[in-house]
Structures are given as C-alpha cells and as structure tokens.
Amino acid sequence: DAGVIQSPRHEVTEMGQEVTLRCKPISGHDYLFWYRQTMMRGLELLIYFNNNVPIDDSGMPEDRFSAKMPNASFSTLKIQPSEPRDSAVYFCASSTRAGTEAFFGQGTRLTVV
C-alpha cells in the first residue's frame, strides 16, 4: 500500500478563496483523522470519521471549515472563505480500531495571504 496520500502538498491562496484539501486513507482502515499543526497550538484534532461517518467534529474551529468522507477511500477538508490565520500544516491520518497506531500522510502546507 502507498500509505496515506494527501494532496496538494503545498497550497498558497489569497484570503477569501475556497481551499480544498484531499486525503486518501490506507485501504482497509476504517478511521480517518484530520489534524492542524501550528507552532502555537501543536497538533489539533479537527474531526474524525469511522466508516465514513463523522464521529466528533468538536475541533473544527468555525463554520468556515467543513469535512466530508463520501466513501472509504476519499476525504476532503474545505475552508471557505480562507483567512491568513488558517495558515498551517494539515495532516490526515488513518487507522484501524483503537490499539493500533495511526498512519499519517505527508501533510498539506497551507499559506493564506
């Protein structure tokens, strides 16, 4: 398996634009996590899915953020409209049930100017 695949690796966008980050989890993994990493706040859990269903989105910072998982092999995190304070590295991770480690993608570095 190729591992967790995120795209794009880097994204630079202007304030107010819509941004969509994509993630393909490892086949057979039924949990998918989205994290945001910043220097100030470390790795924050934004939302996680089990069998394509959102379980906990309490970490989503505000209504500008939304996430979907239309099928077992694809998830998106959308920011609309984007703001400079959204600049961060966004990670997607997948795993099987608790007791096993989560595997991370390479991350998407988002810069909003």
User: In the bound complex, what is the minimum distance in angstroms from residue 110's beta carbon to another protein?
Assistant: 13
CB atoms within 10 A of CB 3: 13
- Which among 22, 29, 8 is positioned nearest to 72, based on CA atoms? 29
Phi, psi of 84 (to 5 degrees): -55, -35
Which amino acid type is present at position 113?
V
Task: Decide if residue 1 touches another protein (CB under 8 A).
Answer: no
- Which among 22, 35, 21, 19 is positioned nearest to 82, based on CA atoms? 19
Which residue, 41 or 71, has its beta carbon nearer to another protein? Answer: 41
Give the integer Cα–Cα distance in Å for 111 and 50. Answer: 29
Please, which of residues 13-42 interact with another protein by CB under 8 A?
Answer: 31, 33, 35, 41-42
Binding mask 64-83 vs another protein (x if CB under 8 A, - otherwise)?
A: --------------------
Task: Decide if residue 5 touches another protein (CB under 8 A).
Answer: no
Interacting residue ranges for another protein, rule: CB under 8 A:
31, 33, 35, 41-43, 45, 48, 50, 55-56, 89, 91, 93, 95, 97-104, 106-107
